[in-house]
Structure 1
């Protein structure tokens, strides 16, 4: 059997918390770029060397230091001031759902003797932007799809963004029908079959949206594909690496994927097909329902 064409590793093979940030075939450029990246005390940098097509390549991988991934406050007063400064009353209720879901995922991971890792900084201040990008007062499945897709695309958490976004979708649906609870999505390190295809397709689109320029250069240096840490492989021959609008193009594709997932899979899984005909009553009304059930 012939060997598969060479694939660039999006995450460092020895430590998947490190993500590819830069590729060069020039040693001096590698040193310069590494120096620039290490000027940020919150960033760790490691360098891999590979030979592709006879060319020596330098791949720089980065990750956020653990302590830098989380926002820290000295007093309760500081927390309250920060909340009042950055969030409306309605946004706070939804923010609490996100934080509780994230904390629950961390606890489950630790209870299962797992290690929770971070690969970026937490950006809770992005939550209002996510909510403002949702077009409320449409059908419940459409609003749910936008809410989930916007959360995943924005990626505000230092890890588990898909699981946290799914928890937010769960609270949104159960605010209309308490029985419409999402089933378990998977165990540590794996996804259950009912959701696996959506997760893998979503991560493929995220990879292309966030890294297309980097992947273009990887192809120029001789790579024929990219592989993520989950074993997801994208062949460059199937991608327009010179697309000028990857940010918008793949965001649209991701929303299309999520719409289909919510309508065809989620509502079936939760036994709530009747919600297809229900019209959303707005962000404030959703926040009011959350406040009433806290």
Structure 2
């Protein structure tokens, strides 16, 4: 039977795996040194494994935040005009996703970090073929994880806007069955995306688990990561670069699948937007758009 541990604590999913050991004394030592809230699980394998989880004991509900202009302005200082426009639209998308699911049902797992949106824009191959640009916009926004929730849903919406900036008549195929469930053709892309970004941030932690003969790590939503399928033995900086590249390639493939499913093969070889063209579309081409229709 496969030896499986949870990446998120099963009773408190704001706590994530930080350290593992065959020694409970070592876990206690790590716990004593931590400045974060912690929880611990002992996995009763034939050779036991102990896992330390760290996280924020307080998780906000979306209803606790007023997404008003003052709240947003306080967080956008120092952004370029492009960064401001993309940030503003992302917050509108987050509000729409929250509205569709009802505020009390949406939890905010981290701080809003708009500076990371600026970083995401700087890593896109603007003006390359459209599937490349759209896929990289989606990938880099997801990789930077700037929003407190809904990064995949808003990333796909931004991919759609990128395509629409080249052809405003583009009809995006539906990506959701309902507000909680991805359509079957999208789901595999989302699951693999979440696997890649989890391994990217945790290669050394997962290497530690692998050395303890753990086979599987399971994150939220039942997504399992089979450790033997990933290269873990590298410096964490190398892992950040390696898995970012794999994630970008994965999202470029998704952008191509979107165009093919929409029967728009004519756009596969079209030049994607420049950064300015994309920002201009976000600023002027989405006026009065009801973003709830995207979710």
Q: TM-score range with shorter-chain normalisation?
A: 0.7 to 0.9
> Which of 210, 221, 227 is 1:219 aligned to?
210
Residue 268 of structure 2 aligns to a residue whose secondary structure is: helix
- When normalised by structure 1's length, the TM-score is 0.84
Residue 230 of structure 1 aligns to a residue whose secondary structure is: helix
Change (3 A) 1:82 1:70: farther
Change (3 A) 1:281 1:204: closer
Residue 86 of structure 1 aligns to a residue whose secondary structure is: coil
Are residue 159 (structure 1) and residue 149 (structure 2) matched? yes
Aligned counterparts, 1:278-289, within 5 A? 278-289=270-281
In structure 1, runs of 5+ residues without a counterpart are: none
CA distance in 1: counterparts of 2:64 and 2:100, whole angstroms: 21
1:80-131 superposed Cα distances (whole Å, 9 cap, x missing partner): 4653x321122211111111111111111117xx721233322121111000
Moved over 6 A (4+): 68-73
Which residue number corresponds to residue 242 of structure 2?
Answer: 249
Which residue number corresponds to residue 129 of structure 1?
Answer: 119
**Deviation at 1:276?**
2.2
**Deviation at 1:68?**
11
Q: Is the 8 A contact 2:22 2:47 kept in 1?
A: no
Aligned residues between the structures? 283
Q: Is the 8 A contact 2:116 2:144 kept in 1?
A: yes
1:127-160 superposed Cα distances (whole Å, 9 cap, x missing partner): 1100011121112221111111111111112222
Change (3 A) 1:232 1:121: same
Which residue number corresponds to residue 209 of structure 1?
Answer: 200
Change (3 A) 1:80 1:199: closer
CA distance in 2: counterparts of 1:272 and 1:92, whole angstroms: 31
CA root-mean-square deviation? 2.8
Change (3 A) 1:162 1:70: same
**Deviation at 1:12?**
1.5
In structure 2, runs of 5+ residues without a counterpart are: 288-295
Q: Is the 8 A contact 1:19 1:63 kept in 2?
A: no
Which residue number corresponds to residue 180 of structure 1?
Answer: 170
- When normalised by structure 2's length, the TM-score is 0.84
> Which of 3, 8, 14 is 1:11 aligned to?
8
CA distance in 1: counterparts of 2:73 and 2:195, whole angstroms: 38
